Structure 1
């Protein structure tokens, strides 16, 4: 159970990496750059803790997939990005894949 908490924290910080990196504008904005690097380190740390129980392929796939979905949703909610039917279909497929990985009994 604790591995899921670690993975959830890793997902939150990985989502923060994407948002910060987008605002860092090629690492030309100092504080967004710092936020990107610190968030990345924290995300990787918690991912490594979750991988003590998850298979690497399953844990990493869930981590990147959930963070990707989070970034798309946050982009739509806070940055005016369009959430099209194709994006919603993609999100649904990703969620289905994550559920399939979880049901594989890997953790």
Structure 2
């Protein structure tokens, strides 16, 4: 269950990072609200998952999921340019996240 919570928390990291950019310095209400709620849920889930998953592994997976999804979403929506190199780098990040999951057993 800790891994499911961690993955959802990583997804929520991408949500709050995207909402932070859309909030325009906290001047837009709904992106700011989405930022605050998703940030609290993401951090809470990370903290909960870290009760069973080591800090380094949990944090690395959380950041990897959040960063990958944030960049992928930005490219899909046109907020960031697409390139094959960026796609390969995102896939590399995902591979590293999977690797941490596979070797994360103590």
Q: CA deviation at 1:92?
A: 2.2
Q: For 2:70, what is the secondary structure of its paired residue?
A: helix
| Corresponding residue for residue 39 of structure 1 | 38
Q: Which stretches in structure 2 are left out of the alignment for 5+ residues?
A: none
| Corresponding residue for residue 92 of structure 2 | 93
Instruction: Tell me how many residue pairs correspond in the alignment.
Output: 106
Contact 2:57–2:104 under 8 Å retained in 1: no
| Corresponding residue for residue 28 of structure 2 | 29
| Corresponding residue for residue 56 of structure 1 | 55
Q: CA deviation at 1:41?
A: 0.4
Structure 1: 4+ residue segments shifted above 6 A: none
1:7 to 2:6 alignment: yes
Give RMSD over aligned pairs.
1.6
Q: CA deviation at 1:6?
A: 0.4
Q: CA deviation at 1:12?
A: 1.8
Q: Deviations over 1:53-80 (max 9, x none)?
A: 1100100110011111111111122245
What TM-score, normalized by structure 1, do the two folds share? Answer: 0.88
1:72 to 2:68 alignment: no
More off after superposition, 40-49 vs 92-101: 92-101
